Amino acid sequence: MNGAWKRIARTVAAGYLALGALAYAAAPDMPRYRFENFTTANGLPDNHVYSVLVDGNRIWAGTDNGLGLYENGKWKTYTTKDGLAHRAVLSLALDKRTGDVWAGTMAGLSRISGGRIDTYTQLNSGLSNDVVYGVSVEGENVWVATAAGASKLNLHTNQWSLYNERNTPMNEIWVYGVSATPTKVYYAVWGSGLLEYDQKTGRWDKYDDPDGETEMVLFKDQGLIHEITTSVSYVDNVAWVATYFGDSRYDGRYWHNFLTKDSGLPSNFTNVVKGVDANRAWFGTDKGLAYYDGTSWAVYRPSPATGKPEMTVRDAQGHVTAVLVTSAPAHHYILNIDFQGSDIWVATAHGLSHGIHER
């Protein structure tokens, strides 16, 4: 009898593996990952991870209890005792020219350079506010998003510029994210849509939701999906914009919006977007990590209901297929994303995840 049950179990297991293979065959271009997760149990400073930054072979993690550096298989933690402005590190950026790391915290902006930490606050600099939600380095300029406006530090002249409701089109001054390039700088402003700064002309433009702040979408693809923007990523002349009510893609002429009802997003509540190129992007939502390749979608997460690893693929026709996987990001609440070659690093509400590309 035991032998019979074993044969049945083997047959069932083989069936599940075959189904998984068939499911993946339905979307061969969707990347698969083996997720390696880090928590305080293996050296992470804190399980609540706000931000992650890839710095070559080094990985920086901004947590609720310090800045973690993962190098050569070991974690090192920087705290306020080392000069960090605050224990909660909300945002990170790398100056590729110098190797300096910029950390936006709940009490100022810190620069980690050659083991030394210098901090900028409202009291000792031209920083708009000490709560720094976003930071982006472009050439000699450090662009900063804060709880009360935006700032720019010119590293050559050491001069600060402040941006708020008096000299930009922003209505609200709660600035959540920034993406700076040599041509354009984009700010995601909570309750004030998307701000665009043209580096050549010095002109500001503002993009609003044509429906106002209503959660109903009355005009599909006519503009920004919602005024409450949380993140922006500008790559290959395309701005990818995240909001708490869906996401948008803007190529400088046309808008395309994404909602759970007509895309593969697991949730409209999006904390972060990270563009790969003009057609591909990753979205961090409160219900999982989503990838869009311009046509199809993939979602990676531990099931919010069971906690078991899940991967689903939605094709261009809207057909959703489950893919058999054995690992997932540490948590379904995704806060930040960065790339390391074909691998992906994901900051979550309960751990940091390294997605090792397998296919």
Residue 156 maps to which CATH number? 2.130.10.10
Which pLDDT belongs to residue 220? 75
CA dihedral 233, 331, 343, 41 (to 10 degrees): 130
Q: Are 225 and 236 in contact (CB under 8 A)?
A: no
How many Å apart are CA 159 and CA 163, to the nearest integer?
14
Taking a C-beta distance cutoff of 8 angstroms, is the pair 208, 227 a contact? Answer: yes
Total-model pTM: 0.91
- pLDDT lower than 50: segments of the chain: 1-28
**Amino acid at site 56:** G
Q: Is 30 helix (H, G, I), strand (E, B) or coil?
A: coil
Residue 131, CA distances (Å) to 81, 135, 334, 348 in order = 19, 11, 21, 20
Helix (H, G, I), strand (E, B) or coil at 335: strand
Token readout for 271 is 């904390």
Q: Six-digit token pair at 152? A: 């720019």
Radius of gyration from C-alpha coordinates of the chain: 21
Closest-CA residue to 170 (of 181, 178, 159): 178
Tokens (6 digits) for 117:
């930490």
Which of 335, 339, 340, 346 lies closest to 64, judged by CA?
A: 335
Beta bridge partners of 63: 49, 66
**pLDDT the model gives residue 218:** 65
Q: What angle do CA 317, 338, 294 make, to 5 degrees?
A: 20
Predicted pLDDT of residue 9: 39
- E-only strand ranges, 79-173: 89-94, 101-105, 108-113, 116-120, 132-138, 141-146, 149-154, 159-163
| Cβ density class 331-343: b for 16+ within 10 Å, e for less | bbbbbbbbebeeb
pLDDT given for residue 122 in this prediction: 96
pLDDT for 210: 83
Nearest to 75 by CA among 126, 41, 31, 106: 41
Q: Give tens-digit pLDDT for 272-299.
A: 999 999 999 999 999 999 999 999 999 9
- pLDDT of 217: 64
Q: Strand pairing of 351-357 and 33-38? A: antiparallel
Task: Find the domain containing 69 and state its range.
Answer: 2-357
Question: SS3 of 20, please?
Answer: helix
Angstrom distance (rounded) from CA 199 to CA 243: 25
Question: Tokens 């890839």, residue?
Answer: 54
Closest CA to 131 of 176, 169, 168: 176
Contacts of 211 (CB under 8 A, 6+ apart): 217, 218, 219
Sheet holding 101-105, edge to edge: 89-94, 101-105, 108-113, 116-120
Nearest to 281 by CA among 351, 339, 216: 339
Strand partners, 108: 105
**Per-residue confidence (pLDDT) for residue 29, from 0 to 100:** 72
Task: Indicate the number of domains in the chain.
Answer: 1
Continuous segment of H or E residues that includes residue 7 = helix 2-25
